[in-house]
């Protein structure tokens, strides 16, 4: 019998954990075909742990790379060094990376230097603007150049890869794994209204969920978004606004300075995925700059206003759902 293929999977941030959970589960269900190692870079420490524990993922290696105020160059450097040590010692048959984070690009480069095949999940997304999102658009393009196999979520993403000259024989359209993650959770969600909404907005007929923390929004754009939310909260006192605020201090500073101490605005700690998904399902409207949230909301047909100038995920808006 042929030996099982060793597939190593790198995960750096919360969305990577959520979107790779169904892939890890599917690979682990075929132990005769695949041996899986999960490598956490810990780019987002606490929020990543939340997602790992929800999906029962136990990383085989944790590089603990999160440092407060760390530059992108330092993060890239640390990821390449840490992963090179693991990859050269274990020589997996393939390294799987997901999405567009610095972890994805740095891990792909480390594997490429060692002649290890890279499979890129969520390949082919393009905003066609290197400054938006920054540095994610560059991370995605660079990873496509380094990857051996491209797992594109949609036909549109595949078409963009083909247009850039990538071999069509190495592109597989898989669908979006975030939908698999949501489907996997659906049994445990039940039909009762979100307990958090019951607690914070028991009588509100209309509720708005906000997430905003994208790097290119830091500073002025995030200040403008928060000022707009403050105006809305004042104009619509009966509407309850819920904003789980990212752990990044550059985000928290701006959000709390503008939106703290308002009766109908609740600034929350990042929520575990179950709790957050129930909110996604049950609120009236979502305002977000998150790529993942933009993809998840249409599953529940909750309307989304995308707080960005351009997006690499136009599918929902093309269908009139965002
Ligand atoms: N999310 C979560 N708790 C929260 C906010 C978001 O579990 O408090 C989930 C959300 O459902 C989505 C993912 O985190 O799956 C999005 O992560 P993030 O906004 O950090 O990244 P992006 O989608 O912009 O890459």
Phi, then psi, of 209 in degrees rounded to 5: -105, 135
Task: Report the percent of the chain where pLDDT is more than 90.
Answer: 84
Residue of 12, 13, 15, 300 to test ligand 1 pocket, by largest number of atoms within 8 Å of CB: 15
Q: Are strands 171-173 and 149-152 parallel, antiparallel or unpaired?
A: parallel
Residue-wise pLDDT tens digits, 15-36: 999 999 999 999 999 999 999 9
Q: Is 44 helix (H, G, I), strand (E, B) or coil?
A: coil
Output the CA–CA distances (angstroms, integers) from residue 91 to 25, 38, 39, 116, 268, in the order listed: 22, 14, 13, 7, 42
What's the average model confidence in pLDDT over 145-171? 98
Does position 322 have pLDDT exceeding 70, yes or no?
Answer: no
What's the average model confidence in pLDDT over 134-143? 97
CA of 182 to the centre of ligand 1 (A): 13
At 195 the pLDDT is: 96
| Residue with CA closest to ligand 1 atom 12 | 292
- Take residue 118 and report the two structure tokens written for it: 């890279």
- Pair 92, 37: CB distance under 8 Å: yes
15 in contact with ligand 1, CB cutoff 6 A:
yes
How far from each other are the two terminal CA atoms of the chain, in whole angstroms?
49
At 314 the pLDDT is: 86
Write the burial class of residue 156 (CB in 10 Å: 0-12 exposed, 13-18 middle, 19+ buried): middle
Q: How far is residue 90's CA from residue 114's CA, in Å, rounded to a whole number? A: 11
Give me the chain's average pLDDT, please. Answer: 94
Does position 89 have pLDDT exceeding 80, yes or no?
Answer: yes
Does position 320 have pLDDT exceeding 80, yes or no?
Answer: no
Does position 108 have pLDDT exceeding 80, yes or no?
Answer: yes
Q: Is 6 helix (H, G, I), strand (E, B) or coil?
A: strand
- DSSP conformation letters of 176-202: -HHHHHHHHHHHHH-SSPPHHHHHH-T
At 160 the pLDDT is: 97
Q: What's the pLDDT band for 286 if we cut at 50, 70, 90? A: very high
CA of 10 to the centre of ligand 1 (A): 18
At 30 the pLDDT is: 98
- Take residue 81 and report the two structure tokens written for it: 């060094």
- Pair 193, 202: CB distance under 8 Å: no
Residue of 99, 292, 297 to test ligand 1 pocket, by largest number of atoms within 8 Å of CB: 292
Residue-wise pLDDT tens digits, 199-245: 999 999 999 999 999 888 888 899 999 999 999 999 999 999 999 99
Does position 43 have pLDDT exceeding 90, yes or no?
Answer: no
302 in contact with ligand 1, CB cutoff 6 A:
no
19 in contact with ligand 1, CB cutoff 6 A:
no
- Pair 263, 8: CB distance under 8 Å: no
Residue-wise pLDDT tens digits, 160-188: 999 999 999 999 999 999 999 998 887 78
Q: How far is residue 170's CA from residue 10's CA, in Å, rounded to a whole number? A: 21
Does position 113 have pLDDT exceeding 90, yes or no?
Answer: yes
At 241 the pLDDT is: 98
Residue-wise pLDDT tens digits, 48-84: 889 999 999 999 999 998 888 899 999 999 999 999 9
Three-state SS string over 88-156 comes to HHHCCCEEEEECCCHHHHHHHHHHHHCCCEEEEECCCCCCCCCCCCCCHHHHHHHHHHHCCEEEECCHH
Size (the chain), residues = 322
Instruction: Examine the residue annotation and report whether 136 is marked as an active-site residue of this protein.
Output: yes
Does position 258 have pLDDT exceeding 90, yes or no?
Answer: yes
Residue of 14, 132, 176, 242 to test ligand 1 pocket, by largest number of atoms within 8 Å of CB: 14
At 318 the pLDDT is: 77
- Nearest-atom number in ligand 1 for the CA of 18 is 15
């Amino acid at each position: 019998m042929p030996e099982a293929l060793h597939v190593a999977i790198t995960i750096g941030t919360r969305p990577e954990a959520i979107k790779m959970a169904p892939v890890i589960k599917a690979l682990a269900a075929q132990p005769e075909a695949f041996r899986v190692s999960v490598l956490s870079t810990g780019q987002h420490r606490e929020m990543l742990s939340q997602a790992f524990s929800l999906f029962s993922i136990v990383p085989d290696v944790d590089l603990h790379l999160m440092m407060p105020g760390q530059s992108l160059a330092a993060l890239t450097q640390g990821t390449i060094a840490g992963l090179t040590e693991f990859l050269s010692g274990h020589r997996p048959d393939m390294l799987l990376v997901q999405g567009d984070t610095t972890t994805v690009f740095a891990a792909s480069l480390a594997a490429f230097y060692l002649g290890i095949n890279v499979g890129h999940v969520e390949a082919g997304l393009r905003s066609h603007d290197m400054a938006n999102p920054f540095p994610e658009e560059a991370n995605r393009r660079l990873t496509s150049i380094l990857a051996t196999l491209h797992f594109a979520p949609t036909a549109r993403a595949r078409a963009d890869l083909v247009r850039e000259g990538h071999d069509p024989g190495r592109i597989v359209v898989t669908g979006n794994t975030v939908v698999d993650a949501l489907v996997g959770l659906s049994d445990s969600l039940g039909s009762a209204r979100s307990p958090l909404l019951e607690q914070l907005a028991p009588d509100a007929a209309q509720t708005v969920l906000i997430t905003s923390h994208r790097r290119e929004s830091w500073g002025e754009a995030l200040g403008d978004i928060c000022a707009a939310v403050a105006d809305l909260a004042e104009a619509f006192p009966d509407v309850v606004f819920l904003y789980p605020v990212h752990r990044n201090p550059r985000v928290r500073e701006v959000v709390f300075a503008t939106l703290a101490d308002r009766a109908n605005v609740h600034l929350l700690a990042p929520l575990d995925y179950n709790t957050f998904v129930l909110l996604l399902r049950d609120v009236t409207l979502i305002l977000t700059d998150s790529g993942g949230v933009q993809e998840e909301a249409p599953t529940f047909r909750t309307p989304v206003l995308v707080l960005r100038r351009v997006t690499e995920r136009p599918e929902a808006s093309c269908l009139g759902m965002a």
